[in-house]
Chain A
């Protein structure tokens, strides 16, 4: 069924999902949200190392800003506590504001850098902040290579 599904897709659209890469979390500094900047081998032929690292580092910086424990977070915490946390019904937390910025940044990166190279980044919040999922699309016009609906495509030896 998978192959049949795929052939139909190829009939209709110019690209199909070939593989997915998952950038894991980097726990070396604790439980704060940070992703590894190690360059996965599957992306070697698709995108430059510097661009990839730039994206991941910027995301890491955003998360660090959201989770920073300092004057502003104390103020927010104390104020919220004083109002029995009812203030969160009308006010957006700092973390939520940063998440919006992250969503915009990822969309921008997808439009400008990743989509032209046949890649698509999924916002980590949709994957439980566990991974950055990068989907790799194959040009249908090139070899009818992989039946990509499963990521165990064997395309790279690990």
Chain B
């Protein structure tokens, strides 16, 4: 007559909803489709390798050794910005827990009053006034929250993202509040790198052709043709993209708002987020504070799962560990929970995470423990 529950600690990223993929035990967060990201990496690394292999030796000797050095620095900066954009949390808003979702539902029902059956309920919209401008906050049915201003739900990643700009397949991630400046610096420095490589390719070809003739030059450095081709096409798109985002930054708008025309046309000049000053807008976006991730991907949490054979019905007897599952406990114990608080009438949940072994007899785990999970078995009698 015994039921056995296995409690183990897992990292929170393993239980996050949404369609992201995580690597390095939660340190890296990307979208599911990464193919185009690999293409971006291949193009950048490939083109730069060709440049360093074919052009740089000649240019270092005949012009200046500073040329390859600067190219290396630029290349490293581009890669750092790309990886930072791709791997970081764009500003995902976590979904509402059941209590919060219920609370919001109650508020909505109270606001709507009684809707006669058969009639569609009014759309869930909340109006807020921001800097004397009325902004509508929409309700997200997936995340069960009213989206903060400028947030939007990305259908590819299935997350609400704060200050959502767009989902960029080239970096394999959404671009939002937390990684917009890295994205912008990536496009800017990649444009510069492309221009740099293109320019020095031309210089190299010209210089060598003067000595050896054009066709011989191409025969000796075949990589040049490939580089010029890639750079030519990349240049136009990257310079255009950088220019577009510079325009958006100066107006403090997101791509999403621009596409939807939120602050253009008849609404022009009414952007409540803009400081009406180009320098101030640029400073806010590029030099503003670095927002922390609210996802806590690497935090630990309890996960209870019933063990294989033995359990007889729900463990409803005096076993606090088995009962304090994530789904029923309103407070999710985690690293941030101040569990050295012992309020005089605290519920047992606040002492949950640290002491998950009841004083009763312990037995060796039924399942083999995973590398960073602790298994403990609670036994009922």
Contacts and interface: CB of A to CB of B under 8 A. Distances in A.
Given A28-B128, A135-B330, A149-B328, A130 B145 contact: yes
Given A126-B336, A137-B347, A77 B286 contact: yes
Interface size class of B (residues with CB under 8 A): 35 or more
A72 B95 CA distance: 33
Interface in A111-150: 111, 114-116, 118, 120, 122-123, 125-131, 133, 135, 137, 139-140, 149-150
Interface in B268-320: 272-273, 283-284, 286-292, 294, 296, 314, 316-318, 320
Interface band, chain A: 35 or more
Nearest to A154: B106
A1 B182 CA distance: 49
Contacts, number: 175
Interface in B143-190: 145, 148-150, 163, 182, 185
Contacts of A81: 185
- Can you list the 7 inter-chain pairs with the closest CB atoms, starting with the nearest? A115-B343, A77-B287, A15-B345, A84-B80, A107-B338, A128-B94, A128-B294
Interface in A61-103: 66-69, 73-74, 76-78, 80-81, 84-86, 88, 93-96, 99, 103
A151 B273 contact: no
A27 B128 contact: yes
29 contacts: A1-B316, A5-B316, A5-B328, A9-B347, A27-B130, A27-B148, A30-B149, A30-B272, A31-B273, A69-B283, A77-B286, A77-B290, A80-B290, A85-B81, A93-B292, A95-B290, A95-B291, A95-B292, A103-B338, A106-B338, A107-B341, A115-B343, A115-B346, A120-B343, A130-B148, A135-B330, A137-B343, A140-B345, A149-B330
A79 to B, nearest CB: 10
B131 interface: yes
Given A4-B316, A120-B343, A85 B182 contact: yes
Nearest to A81: B185
B100 A111 contact: no
Nearest to A103: B336
B54 interface: no
Q: Which residue, A25, A74, A120, has most C-beta atoms of chain B within 10 A?
A: A120
B207 interface: no
B84 interface: yes
Contact of B99 (A12, A13, A20, A85): A20
Interface in B48-85: 76-77, 80-81, 84
A39 interface: no
Given A27-B148, A66-B289, A106-B338, A122 B273 contact: no
B371 interface: no
A44 interface: no
A110 B330 contact: no
Contact of A84 (B81, B107, B337): B81
Given A12-B320, A16-B347, A31-B273, A152 B149 contact: no
B363 interface: no
Given A12-B318, A115-B341, A69 B284 contact: yes
A75 B307 CA distance: 54
Contacts of B318: 8, 12
A17 interface: yes
B331 A135 contact: yes
Nearest to A75: B287
A145 B217 CA distance: 89
B185 to A, nearest CB: 7
Contacts of B93: 128, 130
